[in-house]
Amino acid sequence: MDEPNSRVLSIEKISVNDPYIDGYIILATINRPNKLNALNSAVMDSLKSLCAWVESNQMIRCLVITGAQPMPADEGKRPKPNAFVAGADIAEFVGMDSRATRDKFADNAVEAIWSLTKPTIAMIDGFALGGGCELACSCDIRVASTRSKFGTPEINLGLIPGYGATQRLTKLIGYGKTLEMVMSGEMISAQEALNIGLVNHVCEHDNLREFTMELATKIATKSVHTLITAKRVIRAALNSTLDAGIALEAEEFANLFDSKDQQEGVRAFMERDKPKWHDE
Ligand code: COA
């Protein structure tokens, strides 16, 4: 699987700063700042290619997704605001009927990100609205700048969310808060998003990249095999009963005792050494 190469999605490979790890973190930047990084078909296609590449490439240990910063404004023009992603591209909705919508939204990039087995982080600086909020919710962890704003304004277009907010947002922030966001269409601040559990961390925009990459590096220096197991078992909590989830955890916990990385992790601890993961 080749590295995706697209005008609307820039890819940066960041080496994991660890002498024992030969791999990298991918920083993928959605690059349509003049349209507040809105998700048009080209972006969605590129994100799907990105997911296939991330999943198949053994060197990739963690994916961070962000939105491009605004370009300098033309003379006399108002600068565009900062955005992670301001939603699905509304211009593409013109003239669409239910059949076209089913085709467009089936098997979409937000689901591809959600389905990734490797760790994912949304790095949010600015508007995360509609599909942008949903894209963030499909990542494992969300880090936002203080100037970010979150919302599900589809109600103002006579719509409901279509990339999973009615379900994934409900799992993150609960039934009542999701209803309020979806039915009012109002935006909330980064601080409120933090208070209700929509984001994991908020920091000043000047520190956002450093903070996020530090977190990504911490995760990327763990065993990929163990990370994938952790994500799969925690994800099961969303769909299973408590008893079934506990049974799954017990099974997967036991299985890890047959893995090379469990042996290595315990050896390294006992010998006061640093683990050298096999990722298996
Ligand atoms: N789809 C398509 N284009 C979008 C967009 C979207 N979701 N969000 C913003 N844009 C475009 C605007 O049309 C504008 O393009 P133009 O300069 O070529 O006219 C550009 O991005 C800048 O946006 P603008 O509205 O001028 O910025 P603003 O600072 O006045 O307002 C927002 C910012 C985010 C409040 C406003 O753009 C907005 O409400 N966007 C739509 C959000 C939404 O409903 N998302 C859910 C979609 S389902």
What pLDDT shows up at residue 2? 81
Confidence of residue 233 (pLDDT cuts 50, 70, 90): very high
Region 9-220: CATH code:
3.90.226.10
User: How many A from CA of 38 to the centre of ligand 1?
Assistant: 8
Residue 4, pLDDT above cutoff 90: no
Residue 129 CB less than 6 A away from ligand 1: yes
Fold of 224-270: Lyase 2-enoyl-coa Hydratase; Chain  A, domain 2 (1.10.12)
Question: Is the separation of the CB atoms in 108 and 163 below 8 Å?
Answer: yes
Residue 254 CB less than 6 A away from ligand 1: no
Residues assigned a catalytic role: 134, 154
The pLDDT tens digits of the residues spanning 34-83 come to: 999 999 999 999 999 999 999 999 999 999 999 999 999 989 999 999 99
User: How many A from CA of 86 to the centre of ligand 1?
Assistant: 6
Share of the chain above pLDDT 70, in %: 100
**Domains in the chain: boundaries:** 9-220, 224-270
What pLDDT shows up at residue 3? 87
Tell me how far apart the alpha carbons of residues 162 and 110 are, in angstroms, rounded to a whole number: 10
Tell me, rounded to whole angstroms, the distance of Cα 129 from its chain centroid. Answer: 14
Quote the tokens at residue 64: 């961070």
| 60-67 vs 127-129, strand pairing mode | unpaired
**Nearest Cα residue to atom 38 of ligand 1:** 86
Residue 88 CB less than 6 A away from ligand 1: yes
The pLDDT tens digits of the residues spanning 167-210 come to: 999 999 999 999 999 999 999 999 999 999 999 999 999 999 99
| Nearest residue to 127 (alpha-carbon basis) of 115, 135, 116, 139 | 135
Tell me how far apart the alpha carbons of residues 27 and 62 are, in angstroms, rounded to a whole number: 9
Residue 64 CB less than 6 A away from ligand 1: no
**Ligand 1 atom with least separation from CA of 156:** 44
Tell me how far apart the alpha carbons of residues 70 and 32 are, in angstroms, rounded to a whole number: 9
**Nearest Cα residue to atom 8 of ligand 1:** 86
| Nearest residue to 57 (alpha-carbon basis) of 5, 112, 2 | 2
